[in-house]
Amino acid sequence: MQVDEKKKSARIKLAILVLFLAAAIYLVRFWEYFAGTALGIMVDTFIFTFFISRALEMNPEA
């Protein structure tokens, strides 16, 4: 079990390192990245909620 936790931790650290490296190459500031991520999550949440509610209205047996 502990080996799996070490592998998981190493993968997370590698993903963060790649993210920071890519951000440094393209000169993306943290707050720009944060705002873009937050905006994307809000838009996706709205779209999925809207379409799921419309689909359930069209098929109330689901």
Q: Return the pLDDT at 44.
A: 94
Q: Is the predicted pLDDT of residue 1 greater than 80, yes or no? A: no
pTM for the structure as a whole: 0.55
Q: Is the predicted pLDDT of residue 62 greater than 80, yes or no? A: no
**Neighbouring C-beta atoms of residue 28, cutoff 10 Å:** 14
Q: How many domains does the chain have?
A: 1
- Segment 6-57, tens digit of pLDDT: 888 899 999 989 988 988 888 988 899 899 999 999 999 999 999 999 988 8
Q: Return the pLDDT at 60.
A: 74
Sign of CA dihedral 47, 41, 20, 29: positive
The Cα–Cα gap between 15 and 38 comes to 19
For residue 46, give its domain range: 2-58
The answer to whether the beta carbons of residues 44 and 52 sit under 8 Å apart is no
